[in-house]
């Protein structure tokens, strides 16, 4: 029997989920709450197999809760149930090692499949989100190949907050060469500010390499 909790601050929606999960013979809902702090308390008390969490909740958000239980060594797996269909939000959830990402628009079609997959040791991402992530990764991969190895090095240092002079020292090149690389990078990526470069570096994972 898989033990599950539900955390969502919309009472009517939460009740619908409760009824859905209770219809599954191999699931046991051991608690339901509406706030982030209460959710963390419930997880610590019940240590369920799976926690189904909204990302946006009062008190603590879903990401904060996931990070806290991971830091405590609690083995509860997390399925995010959310309205957020943006690629960056979904990617953040996966970076934090969430086991599932289900859109609320598809909750009553996908949630039982998600719970079953996670219970079996797998992961589940709503198909529309998965397609968007794959498309973004493909596009980013193409963009990354536009830059030379040296340009990627310069971009990483720019995104890390180094000045042109500091980058020149780090890479043993002149400041003028750094400026040329910066100009070329911006032209290739069709961006116009340092903030745009930082966002690109974060989006493509260059800072993590």
Domain that residue 71 falls in: 2-129
CA dist 48 → 87, 96, 119 (Å)? 28, 19, 11
Low-confidence ranges of the chain (pLDDT < 50): none
Give this prediction's pTM.
0.68
Counting the structural domains of the chain, the total is 2
Closest CA to 155 of 109, 108, 188, 123: 188
Within this chain, do residues 125 and 148 fall inside the same structural domain, yes or no? Answer: no
Q: Among 62, 94, 129, where does a domain finish? A: 129
Within this chain, do residues 113 and 171 fall inside the same structural domain, yes or no? Answer: no
- The answer to whether 63 touches 40, Cβ cutoff 8 Å, is no
Supply the CATH number for residue 161's domain.
Answer: 1.10.10.10
* Beta-carbon contacts of residue 87 (< 8 Å; ≥ 6 apart): 132, 133, 136
Supply the CATH number for residue 59's domain.
Answer: 3.40.50.2300
Closest CA to 100 of 84, 113, 87, 83: 113
pLDDT at 137: 62
pLDDT at 12: 92
Beta bridge partners of 82: 103
Six token digits for residue 186: 């911006």
Within this chain, do residues 43 and 112 fall inside the same structural domain, yes or no? Answer: yes
pLDDT at 141: 56
106 vs 188: CA distance, rounded Å: 38
The DSSP bridge pattern shows strands 124-125 and 50-53 to be: unpaired
Q: Among 77, 111, 129, where does a domain finish? A: 129
pLDDT at 88: 79
pLDDT at 179: 92
Neighbours of 29 (CB within 10 A): 19
pLDDT at 138: 58
pLDDT at 176: 92
Q: Among 77, 99, 129, where does a domain finish? A: 129
Reported in sequence order, the residue ranges of 34-180 that DSSP labels E, i.e. its strands, are 50-53, 77-82, 100-103, 124-125
């Amino acid at each position: 029997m898989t033990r599950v909790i539900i955390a969502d601050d919309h009472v009517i929606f939460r009740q619908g989920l409760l009824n859905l999960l209770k219809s599954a013979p191999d699931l046991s809902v051991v608690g339901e709450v509406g706030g982030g702090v209460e959710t963390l308390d419930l997880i610590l008390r019940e240590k369920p197999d799976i926690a189904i969490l909204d990302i946006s909740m009062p008190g603590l958000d879903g990401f904060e809760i996931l990070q806290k239980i991971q830091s405590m060594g609690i083995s509860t797996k997390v399925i995010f149930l959310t309205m957020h269909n943006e690629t960056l939000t979904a990617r953040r959830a996966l970076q934090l090692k969430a086991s599932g990402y289900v859109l609320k628009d598809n909750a009553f079609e996908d949630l039982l499949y998600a719970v079953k997959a996670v219970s079996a040791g797998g992961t589940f991402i709503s198909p529309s989100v998965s397609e968007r992530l794959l498309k973004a990764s493909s596009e980013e991969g193409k963009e990354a190949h536009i830059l030379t190895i040296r340009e990627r090095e310069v971009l990483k240092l720019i995104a890390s907050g180094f000045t042109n002079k500091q980058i020149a020292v780090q890479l043993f090149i002149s400041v003028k060469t750094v400026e040329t690389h910066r100009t070329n990078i911006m032209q290739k990526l069709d961006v116009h500010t340092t903030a745009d470069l930082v966002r690109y570096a974060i989006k493509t994972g260059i800072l993590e390499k």
